Structures are given as C-alpha cells and as structure tokens.
Amino acid sequence: MNRLQTLVRESGLPAPCLFYPAARAKGLPMQTLLTDASAQAELLVSIAREYPVSAVVRMTELWCEAAAFGMDCTFPEDDFPKLGAPLYAQADSMARVCAPGAVNPVTAPLIEAVRLAASRLELPLIVGVTGPYTLGSVLGGSEDFMVNCMMEPELAEGFLTALTDFLISYILEYKKAGADAVMIAEPSVSMISPAMTEDYSNVYLERIISAVQDDTFRVIYHNCGDVNRHLSVISQLPAAGFHFGSAVDLSAALSAIPTDRLVMGNVEPQLFLGEDVEAIAAQACQARAKAAGAANFVLSTGCDLSPRANARCIEAFLR
C-alpha cells in the first residue's frame, strides 16, 4: 500500500472533487484558474488547508486534452469549460490524427501548477485526465466514434493507439511534477457494450496503467456513468482505485473490486446545485452504510462539483 492509499484509508475523511467550487469561493475567474499555474497552485494548497479532506482532487477533466488536440474551448464564468465541434467525426480523418506534445500551451499551466503545489502539500494530490475511449468520443463525436469503432475497427484502433501514446506521455509529466495519482475518466463507455469496453477501453487503459503506475504513483479509474453491467470488465483493470458516480450500485462495485483497491464515490454532484442539504447528508450516510465494514471505501462526490455548487451543501457533505 503506497502513500496515497495509506493516507486516504487511515484518515477516514472524504475525498470530494472540490476544485471548481473552491475556485469560485476564492473569486478566481475560470480562465485564470485554468491558464495561470501560480493561481491554480495556490488554490490546490488552500483546498488542503481549508477543507477536511483526505486528498486534493484536481478535477476529472474531459476538456483540456481535446483542447490540446485543437478543439475550440471556451471558459464560462459559472460552468465547466465548453468544447466546440468534434474534429474527427469522419472515419478516414482518424488516420490523420496529429497528437500534440504532452507539454503544450493548454497542458503546460496545469502541469506547472502541480509542480508548484506538490512540495507544499501534506495530503495526496490526485490529478485528472480523460480516458482513451472517452477522449476518442470527444474528438470524434460520441455517436460517430461508436459507429466508427464498429464499422472501421482498424482505423479506430490506430486512432486510440495515438491517443493512448499521448495520454501516457501526459500522465508521466504529472508524475514527474509530483502528483501522487491520476484519475482517468472513462464515462463514455457507458454508451457501449461490456465487450466493446474490453476491446476499445480496457486494452488501452491497461497499457497506460502498465506505463505509469508504480509504488510512488497510482492510477484511479473514474466513471460517473451507469456502468453497472460493465463492472465485471472494469474490475479487471489493475488500477489502484475506482471512483464511481451515483448511478453505480456501490454494493455491487465493492463486491466486484478486490479489497486491496480503493473504491470511491458515489454522492450525486447535481444535488449540490440545490438547497436540500438533508438529501446530501442522507445520500452520504447511505453510501457509508452500504460500505459498512469495507476498509477500502472512501466517500467522494461522484464527479466534479459545478462552480455553482452550494457552499452549504458542501459543508453538509463534509460533516
């Protein structure tokens, strides 16, 4: 068990995805947050100091890798970054994909923020990247990419190989910068079958995990989609942890995943946009009850919290 697993398990504290609402509470504009390394580093340190959490979770992404590949991206003040039109919707275009360097104008401030913050943190720092199939779905359009995988498997496999090579290089930069773990977000597999998940997600995730995970750096698989029927496939991954949304049956996940791996989640992020603090407390208590006796469970939000999350709801969750 490495530093991440030891600290997270032994603290008994939750590990919610507070990055965006914490930034809004500080008055940080979205564009500044995601392009100014110093400002982001200060925020990461402040989350560790000001919230009773077992780890600092730096978002689950789904925007920056696609932006690095050239997709248009805008930064609303009170919402997540917004991506423009897909770049590789046509099957033949996938063969012409040109991956950026791991350190590029989009990713450089995110990596530098980790470097600036890591040495100042006593808590584990978990960064986020988009998973290979999900990145393919973002770059190619979810329905078009799914069809292309079925109709043009060789082109899709070449495309996913290029994306995977980029993701390995990108994650290694975070490892070098001092992050303790990476959370790889793969929610788009909820739209495909378990068999396709094995062929078009797990194969590439296994390559990533083999290339980056060791005793000093761990991989956490994230899925906020309804992947209950995929659990037998997902649980085969050699990741050190699994982070699920509220759509996943926590009892089933705990049964499927070996007890030496973390299981994290699974309180619904949308609840934090309202005023019903009792509903959040009830869902958190329900999750803890389902995980009673499971030493590998860590309470968390099922995905990133919106910048507009209600501060009172966050306080209720943390209590």
Q: What is the pLDDT of residues 120-159, one digit of tens each?
A: 999 999 999 999 999 999 999 999 999 999 999 999 999 9
Band (7; pLDDT cuts 50, 70, 90): low
Task: Give residue 1's pLDDT.
Answer: 57
Q: Are strands 218-223 and 241-244 parallel, antiparallel or unpaired?
A: parallel
From CA 23, how far away is CA 307, in angstroms rounded? 7
Q: What's the pTM value of the predicted model, to 2 decimals?
A: 0.96
Task: Give residue 60's pLDDT.
Answer: 78
Band (3; pLDDT cuts 50, 70, 90): low
CATH classification of 3-246, choosing from 3.20.20.210, 3.90.1150.200, 3.40.50.12370, 3.10.105.10? 3.20.20.210
b/e sequence 88-126, b meaning 16+ C-beta within 10 Å: bbbbebbeebebbebebebbbbbbbbbbbbbeebebbbb
Q: Yes or no: say if 300 and 243 are a contact pair by the CB < 8 Å rule.
A: yes
% of the chain with per-residue pLDDT over 90:
92
From CA 68, how far away is CA 236, in angstroms rounded? 30
Q: Cis check for the bond before 266: say yes or no (omega within 30 of 0).
A: yes
Chain-centre distance for alpha carbon 310: 21
CA-atom Rg of the chain in angstroms = 18
Residue spans of the domains in the chain: they are 3-246
Indicate the DSSP class of residue 258.
-
